[in-house]
Chains A and B, each alone.
Chain A
Amino acid sequence: NAGVTQTPKFRILKIGQSMTLQCTQDMNHNYMYWYRQDPGMGLKLIYYSVGAGITDKGEVPNGYNVSRSTTEDFPLRLELAAPSQTSVYFCASRYPTSGDTDTQYFGPGTRLTVL
């Protein structure tokens, strides 16, 4: 299994540009998450999904959109990039269980700079 994959690894955007961060998992997990990590801060939840066709806002959703048309894919869309969106973005997936295996699996991250 490849686990959780993210593309691209790095990207530089100009203010006002748009882009989509891709996230794919091959573990058949129904839960998927998008986080951002800013220097010196904890990860913050942007959006999450509990299954195909179902998405919900997290703590910091403004400026972002998501969709979940399949179990495997959970893309994150930035419509009008702003410098405040400069961050490292992590995608994660999870299969809820009642035991010790209920954990999140993280992708390698996308480092985004908006200039």
Chain B
Amino acid sequence: QVQLQESGPGLVKPWDTLSLTCDVSGYSVSSDNWWGWIRQPPGKGLEWIGYIYYSGSTYSNPSLKSRLTMSVDTSKNQFSLRLSSVTAVDTAVYYCARKPSAKGWFDPWGQGTLVTVSS
């Protein structure tokens, strides 16, 4: 059974870099799947951030692409997100999820982690 768990600081200062990791259990990140990030500002809808293949190929939301870095660590069976120069609008619950194909759905999702951008 695939399980995903996000981890990282819950509070980030404005203009710093937000870094999150998603630990995957019950499944290999090196398998033929993509791995994605989605966020949800408090009280608002879902926003796609990006997704990555274990080989390093990535696709990103054009609105975030210039600030976004994604990576996969196969030795730790995890993947990561870094979002630079954050502001208050980046405050959100961040979810990681498996994406069985580039064109398909996200399933399952991690439980999500709230990241607040504030000084």
A binds B: no
